[in-house]
Amino acid sequence: MNNHHYTGLINKYRNRLPVDDKTRIISLNEGNTPLIQLKNLPNKLGWEHEIFCKFEGLNPTGSFKDRGMTMAVTKAVESGAQAIICASTGNTSAAAAAYAARAGIKSFVLIPEGKIALGKLSQAMMHGATVIQIKGNFDDGMRLVQELSSTMPLNLVNSINPYRLQGQKTIAFEVIEALGDAPDYHVMPVGNAGNISAHWIGYSESAGQQCGSCNLCDRQCAFKDDVISTKRPTLVGYQASGAAPFLRNEMVDSPETIATAIRIGHPVSWDLAWAAQKESTGWFEECTDEEILQAQKVLAESEGIFCEPASAITIAGLLKDVERGRYQKNSTIVCTLTGHGLKDPDTAIAQSEAPVVVRQSVMR
Ligand code: F0G
């Protein structure tokens, strides 16, 4: 086979991931997503920053979850697991179902009834997962799957599984390769808080530095030979106002937001995310549902990039914090657009003007 054929992030970064030559890799060629520079929006607003979007919606199942799932399912299969389980607001379940199908094992996914976007539900169903809807939210589901996986032969593939973060850290490697160094800021939505922690692991390893995850990480930042950046970025995490435990500084029992992907009140990576914020001298900020939807539309209309509402919170946050001067002048800022807009067509159509209907005779 042609050596240049891209075969997924584990093969690309195998020396920085916990695999060896005997490991059977379960992959759908995830990763290698485009880093797209925004042009029209910064021009229009007179921003002096260079802003890039890492469009994770272009992964095989349409979200960044594929980065973690290739690693988690590869390790599950290596350990002899026949079935995986997760709780999900939608994207994790889609990725778990797809990678389980690829591996030839079973998947069980718990989702909050009526609170996940239809595109995501259709994916889990099509890939043959056993879909269990619960009368509760993601946090209730998370408690359940932790209980179930501790008593049954089910491999838990939520981001509490450290292999998920190992896969997701590769986003930092790709950004550094594309820009030649780490950006000044890296901005992302925060829900269960695994992704911000994974970004920090990736950037820390790339700069040859320790990070707050070291005690949980089996690699102990053993990559001193793989230093590829001179610095680490400041991390900024945006949360929906109705589901913002990091802003309230305590868990939120009844989270609510139109951005159902991040409708989470009890993030499992609480400590890791605080460590990432503190070590990177970053911050958390919140955006309302209105601001999120407006940003989703602005990005789609002005740049041709259609991401899901949870991802658009990065743009909503920038619109607020750049105007306030919270980002230092002339910075390079990368936003992780975590999922594709096609995941949630209902929300997109509901906020758009209905198409005009004309009789064919009028067209002639
Ligand atoms: N953006 C999207 C599109 C997501 O699906 C998620 C999480 C996040 C952001 C937040 O990432 O949890 O690592 O802080 N979705 C999970 C799921 C919870 O079940 O699909 P996080």
| 8 Å CB contact between 92 and 120 | no
Q: What sign does the dihedral 237-301-260-201 (CA atoms) show?
A: negative
Q: What's the confidence (pLDDT) of residue 249? A: 98
Of all residues in the chain, the percent with pLDDT exceeding 70 is 96
62 CB within 6 A, ligand 1: no
Closest atom, ligand 1, to C-alpha of 89: 19
| 8 Å CB contact between 156 and 145 | yes
262 CB within 6 A, ligand 1: yes
Q: Which of 67, 134, 213, 338 to mutate to test the pocket of ligand 1 (most atoms within 8 A of CB)?
A: 338
Give the C-alpha distances (Å, rounded to integers) separating 161 from 37, 73, 75, 155, 157: 33, 11, 10, 9, 6
Weakest mean pLDDT among 221-225, 235-239, 246-250, 342-346: 221-225
Calculate mean pLDDT across residues 186-206.
97
What's phi and psi for 111, nearest 5 deg? -130, 150
Q: What's the confidence (pLDDT) of residue 218? A: 53
Closest atom, ligand 1, to C-alpha of 273: 14
Ligand 1 center from residue 243 Cα (angstroms): 13
Mean pLDDT of the chain: 95
| 8 Å CB contact between 264 and 192 | yes
Ligand 1 center from residue 65 Cα (angstroms): 8
Residue type, 196: I
Which tens digit of pLDDT belongs to each residue from 288-324? 999 999 999 999 999 999 999 999 999 999 999 999 9
Which tens digit of pLDDT belongs to each residue from 139-148? 999 999 999 9
User: How far is Cα 67 from Cα 100, in angstroms, rounded to an integer?
Assistant: 14
190 CB within 6 A, ligand 1: yes
Residue 249, both tokens: 């500084």
Calculate mean pLDDT across residues 149-162.
97
314 CB within 6 A, ligand 1: no
Ligand 1 center from residue 311 Cα (angstroms): 9
Name which of 269, 28, 313, 315 is nearest 169 in CA terms. 269
Would you place residue 226 in the very low, low, confident or very high pLDDT band (cuts 50, 70, 90)? confident
Would you place residue 364 in the very low, low, confident or very high pLDDT band (cuts 50, 70, 90)? confident
66 CB within 6 A, ligand 1: no
Which tens digit of pLDDT belongs to each residue from 2-40? 678 999 999 999 999 999 999 999 999 999 999 999 999
User: How far is Cα 81 from Cα 188, in angstroms, rounded to an integer?
Assistant: 32
Give the C-alpha distances (Å, rounded to integers) separating 132 from 127, 128, 144, 149: 14, 12, 11, 15
Ligand 1 center from residue 359 Cα (angstroms): 43
Q: What's the confidence (pLDDT) of residue 222? A: 53
Q: List own/partner pairs for 240-245 with CB under 8 A and 24 or more apart.
A: 240/286, 240/287, 240/288, 240/289, 240/292, 240/310, 240/313, 241/286, 241/287, 241/288, 241/289, 242/289, 243/191, 244/284, 244/286, 245/270
Residue 42, both tokens: 């910064």
Question: 3-class DSSP state for residue 237?
Answer: strand
What's phi and psi for 173, nearest 5 deg? -60, -45
Ligand 1 center from residue 2 Cα (angstroms): 35
